[in-house]
Chain A
Amino acid sequence: MTNGCGAPAQGGTIESDTTETVLEGKVLNEGTPVGGAFVRLLDSTGEFTAEVVSSPEGDFRFFAAPGTWTVRALHRTGNGQADVSASGPGVHAVEIAVA
Chain B
Amino acid sequence: MKFLNPSGFWLLLGVPLLIIIYIIKSRHEDRPVSSTYIWKLSTKLKKKRFPLQRIRKLLVFFMQLLMIVLLSFVAAQPAVAGGEGYDTIVILDASASMQSVDEGDTTRFEKALSDLKRLAKKTEQEHTFTLILANDTPTYAVLHAQTESDVKKALDKISCSYGGCNEEEALILAGQAAELSDNARVFFYTDHGYESCENISVTDYSVSPWNVALEGLEMEKTAEESFLITGTVTSYGKEAQITVGLRLDDKAVDAQRIVCPKDTATQVVFEIKQTELFDTAEIYVNIEDALEADNSYALCNCRVRPFTALLVSEQPLYLENALKALGNCTLTVTSSLEQADLLGKDLYIFDGITPEQYPTDGAILVFGTDHLPNGLISGISYDSATKPKVNKEASFDFSRGLSFEKTMIKKYTALIGGPEWTPILYCGNAAVLMTATLPGGMQCSVFSFDLHDSNLPLQAEYLRLLQGIIEYSLPSMLKITDYTVGQTAEVAVLPRTEKLYIGYPGESFKELSVSQAVYPISLSTVGVYSVVASYASKDGVYTDFFAHVPLEEMANSDGEHIVVILNEQSSDGMQRYDGIFFYLALAILLILLVEWGVYYSEQY
Tell me if chain B binds chain A.
no
Write the residues of chain B forming the contact surface with A, with a CB cutoff of 8 angstroms: none
Write the residues of chain A forming the contact surface with B, with a CB cutoff of 8 angstroms: none
